[in-house]
Amino acid sequence: MTYLRHAAIATALLAGFGSASAQTTVITREPVETQTVVTTRPLELTPVERQTIYRTIVREPVETAPPTVEYRIGTGVPDGVRLYEVPREVAVEVPAVRRYKYMHVNGRVVLVDPATSEVVADFGG
C-alpha cells in the first residue's frame, strides 16, 4: 500500500514537472535607446545670500556679456559667452552656488549651470 502511494505521488510530481516546463516562455526585448534627461531644480536663495552674491561678484573685473541677448531664468546661454568661476568667498558663504558659473550683463550678475548652459539666477541691475 505504501509502495502504491509513493508511486502515485512520484507520478503526480513528474506529470506536474512536465507541464510546468512546457509553459516556459522566453521574452526578448529590443535594445532601448538611452536618453539623458537633465533637470534643474530652482535655485532657492535667501535675500541675504542673493545680496552677498551680487555685492561680491559685481566687484570682480570681468568682461561684460553681450546685452543683445535677453538672459532669463531657464533660457540657454549662447556659445562663445565667457563664463567665470564663482569666487571662493561667495562659494564659502553660499555653498549652493559653488557649482555654477557667472557672467555680467548690463550691471546684473547672471548665474549659469555649466552642465546645461541654462540661466539659473539673476541678480541686481
Tens of pLDDT, residues 8-58: 565 555 555 554 444 555 565 655 555 444 445 668 889 999 999 999 888
pLDDT at 102 over 50: yes
Residue 55 placed within a domain: yes
Structural domain range at position 114: 47-123
CATH code for position 114: 3.10.450.160
Give the per-residue pLDDT at 21.
47
Q: In the structure, what pLDDT confidence band is assigned to residue 118 with cuts at 50, 70 and 90?
A: very high
SS3 112: strand
Name the amino acid, one letter, at 36: T
Residue 60 placed within a domain: yes
Look up residue 109 and give its DSSP letter: E
Give the per-residue pLDDT at 47.
92
Side by side, the strands of the sheet bearing 101-105 are 84-85, 101-105, 108-113, 118-123
Q: Phi/psi of residue 60, each to 5°?
A: -70, 135
pLDDT (mean) for 74-93: 91
Residue 67 placed within a domain: yes
The number of domains in the chain is: 1
Residue 82 placed within a domain: yes
Residue 101 placed within a domain: yes
Residue 99 placed within a domain: yes
Residue 12 placed within a domain: no
Residue 103 placed within a domain: yes
Against a cut of 0.85, is the pTM above it? no
Q: In the structure, what pLDDT confidence band is assigned to residue 95 with cuts at 50, 70 and 90?
A: very high
